[in-house]
Amino acid sequence: MSTPVLPKLVGQRVKRREDPRLIQGLGTYVDDIKIAGMQHLAFKRSDVAHGRIVSIDVSVAQGMEGVEAVYTGAQVAEFLAPMPIGTPFPSPAHYAIATDVVRFTGEPVAVVVAADRYLARDAADAIVVRYETLPAVIDTELAMTGKPAQIHKDFPNNLAVPLVPSGTGVPPDGSSVDDTAVNAAFAAAEVVISQRMLNHRLAPTAMEARGVIAHYEPGRTAMTIWSSTQNPHILRTMIAAMNGMGQDQVRAIAPEVGGGFGAKINIYAEEYVAAAISKKLGLPIKWIEDRSEAFVATIHGRDILCYIDLAAKRDGTVLGMKMRLIADIGAYNMLLTAAIPTLTMLMANATYDIPAIRATLTEVFTNKTPTDAYRGAGRPEATYFVERAMDMLARELNMDPAEVRRKNFIPKDKFPFQTQMGAIYDSGDYEKALDRALKNAKWPELKAQRDAAKAQGRLVGLGLAMYVEVCGIGPSASLPTGGWEHSQVTIERDGRISATTGASPHGQGNETTFAQMLADQFGVPFEHVTILHGDTSVVKQGIGTFGSRSQAVGGTALHMAGIKVKAKMAKFAAAMMEANEEDLVFENGKIFVKGAPAKGKTFADVSNYAYIPVPLPPGLEPGLSEEAFFEPSNNTYPFGCHISMLEIDRDTGEPRLLKLVAVDDAGNLINPLIVEGQIHGGLAQGIGQALIEEVVYNSDGQLVTGSFMDYAIPRATDFPRFELDSTVTPTPVNPLGAKGVGEAGTLGSTPSIVSAAVDALSEFGVKHIDMMLRPEKLWRIIQGGKA
């Protein structure tokens, strides 16, 4: 008779344990939480893009039944300081509610506190604001000339960050610029590709918009804040600091979070205002964002313009690159706004061994919603610019787009690789990913299919893009919050396992993957492991989930805490069995001396003994609970290759994606099913950017795409079945060898699709098309016009 053997779960396609509750409506989101006496906020928002506030009449609103209080921006500024940012760049004061000038449509100008949401909104609608309208600054490059207006007093020509150089011949502090190598590369060039490209503005549009409840309890002098956030610990830090409280006095809770995509890293005006008003009034305060607000009040993503020049030999060898980046960051700096485009510079080297690169970055204020991290955050932009330029080079030289890339790859034996941009790529084998993608796509046959379709008069094109991104962020030098993660693993008295993680999953499936890891580590059933997250009173320390870091950094902290508690548990078990702890094996719910499972103790028995240790083994404290902080020595650099096939309707210009082949290398995979889900989501957003998603402002600064009636988000029916595969190149920077995968799908897909569109329309002599690929834009090319 043998006991059933527990399967090893790491590397298996375990179904997400989060899903049953989420798809049955059993999750608890911020808006599901109600507290007796809770008051609701509604913000009066600016309907002009740029204007001086002449007067605000709150008299009617203040007199309405159920209205507790109304505050203008100036009144809020009396008890709430301007909002802090997390980057070292100079920044204009950014009040949570505008005090004198409004700088984007949707900026708050007043706030109502009322007994319910409907009354609050009615009262906000009753506030009358008069503006002296100022010219709206919408065009990015025009803004750089200070026209038609200067948005912030101390920032002439609307330059938030004046030109920052980086790359070859520039020391890390940017203090000097030596262009010798770059100039030599361009002097030696046999061919130069030059193109202006826009990586346009997007709205993150999480399924659950933002929401917050702040509950200050005067009796306890304690604040609890629930928020739909990616990082409750950062929220706690900021809320404590802004309210003159200690971090011990603030508890931040991220309940179920319905998507973030980077937009919920920020600590927003509404969170600061809710907390400050709760403290001022001693009442629980709730604010739930509606979808119309989400389009203007939640950060936007991307919006980086690039002038790129690529110098090459006629055999395809790239000699040098120049990349002039101009980021349109909107009206204010948010938490990480200024840092996002620096990641575009950092990744300008892409997957290639380019001998000389000069990148420069300028960040520009405009009268638009501020930008910040959106899935990929700076890296899709770099990938897009470089991959489009590589594709243009291949077209110019009449080379296969795969071969021009192969010719320039950083060879696999050169890792760790110091790039021109100051990054140290941890590990990579780009040729392997390329070859796998070419094999899976049946590249020669695919090209023959395209040619056959073209011969029939169809407009079919192929696109290929490589990517490398920076993930697993990272060492503390790379984040203002510190770059570690924390975990505590506790073996409960009954032998079940509770583990906390400072990563704060909101769709990443860490409750599943982390339980897989601990189940394997301790040889216990998966069902016996619970992963706790998202509450600063439960999870002692943490940073949060962003930058594809939860597995690589958070997962490693969990693993390290597990090692510690396992070592202690082995000591208890050794004492019980009078054995050497080094000889013990944890398997199938038992701990036993290797080779003698029948004589072992159950996991539960050893756990119980650790909590009622009679006798207490010498040198041991009771209990089984250990914690670990893990800080990686470097970021990770996952990579891959995406290939797409696109057909464009000759009559209408409508693009249709026929095929998408992706090979992603995220290092070791804990759960390939979850990885595929992450890739699917990333691809959807990457393809969405290329084909249907675009934030559009009119020249007055009104957001034209302010609802789902005009802002398209991708649906399953927009896609073919994705053909996924992975290569595995582990990272040396963490013991799991895992690199991170949450953002990868947004990197390669976008340029591959635009390149496919250019290929499809090659008969019309087009060399580049700016996204998004609106049917009308493509139709005009087909009609003989210009892109």
Partner 1 sequence: VIPTTFDYHRASSVEDAIKKLQSTGGKLLAGGHSLVPLMKLRLSEPAALIDIARIPGLSGIKERDGQIEIGAATVHHDVASSSVLRQKCPMVSDAAGEIGDPQVRNRGTLGGSLAHSDPSADYPAVMLALEAGVHITGPGGSRVVKASDFFQDLFTVDLASDEIITGVQFAPVKSAAYAKLHQRASHYAIVGVAVALDVKNGGIQSARVGLTGASSHAIRLANVEQALAGQPLSAKTIESAAQLAGKDLKEINADIHASESYRRAMIPVFTRRALEGAAARA
CA-to-CA separations, 115 to 30, 118, 648, in angstroms, rounded: 18, 9, 54
Site for partner 1 in 694-733 (CB under 8 A): 696, 704-705, 707-713, 715
Minimum distance, C-beta of residue 32 to partner 1, in the bound complex (Å): 17
Which window, 238-246, 262-270, 622-630, 774-782, contacts partner 1 (CB under 8 A)? Answer: 774-782
Check binding of 458 to partner 1 (CB under 8 A): no
Check binding of 779 to partner 1 (CB under 8 A): yes
Joined tokens for residue 421 = 């941009």
Check binding of 139 to partner 1 (CB under 8 A): no
Check binding of 438 to partner 1 (CB under 8 A): no
* Helix 443-455 / helix 430-441 crossing angle, nearest 10 deg: 50
Check binding of 125 to partner 1 (CB under 8 A): yes
Rounded Cα distance, 36 and 286, in Å: 11
Residue with smaller CB distance to partner 1, 100 or 776: 776
Cβ–Cβ < 8 Å for 407, 157: no
Minimum distance, C-beta of residue 118 to partner 1, in the bound complex (Å): 6
Site string for partner 1, 280-299 (x = CB under 8 A): ----------x-x-------
Joined tokens for residue 75 = 């009144």
Rounded Cα distance, 254 and 250, in Å: 13
Check binding of 532 to partner 1 (CB under 8 A): no
Among 117, 147, 324, 406, binds partner 1 (CB under 8 A): 117
> What is the number of H-type helices and E-type strands within the chain?
20, 28
Residue with smaller CB distance to partner 1, 606 or 660: 660
Check binding of 776 to partner 1 (CB under 8 A): yes
Residue with smaller CB distance to partner 1, 403 or 710: 710
Greatest extent of the chain over all pairs of C-alpha atoms, in Å: 89
Among 31, 68, 107, 122, binds partner 1 (CB under 8 A): 122
At residue 102, φ and ψ (nearest 5 deg) are -100, 145
Handedness of CA 191, 380, 139, 158 (dihedral sign): negative
The number of residues that bind partner 1 (CB under 8 A) is: 28
Asked, as a colleague might, if the bond just before 390 is cis with ω within 30 of 0, I would say no
Residue with smaller CB distance to partner 1, 212 or 336: 212
How many Cα atoms within 13 Å fall on the side-chain side of residue 581?
11
Which window, 119-127, 301-309, 405-413, 591-599, contacts partner 1 (CB under 8 A)? Answer: 119-127
Check binding of 303 to partner 1 (CB under 8 A): no
Cβ–Cβ < 8 Å for 44, 72: no
Minimum distance, C-beta of residue 96 to partner 1, in the bound complex (Å): 21
Joined tokens for residue 119 = 């009354």
Rounded Cα distance, 88 and 296, in Å: 25
Residue with smaller CB distance to partner 1, 569 or 657: 657
Between strands 159-167 and 67-72, the pairing is unpaired
Residue with smaller CB distance to partner 1, 121 or 251: 121
Q: Is 131 left (phi over 0), alpha (psi -120 to 50) or beta?
A: beta
Joined tokens for residue 12 = 């298996």
Residue 262, beta-bridge partner list: none
Which alpha helices (DSSP H) does 26-173 contain, by range? 59-63, 73-77, 117-125, 140-143
Site string for partner 1, 628-667 (x = CB under 8 A): -----------------------xx-x-------------
Residue numbers of the site for partner 1 (CB under 8 A)?
A: 117-118, 121-122, 125, 290, 292, 651-652, 654, 691-692, 696, 704-705, 707-713, 715, 774-776, 779-780
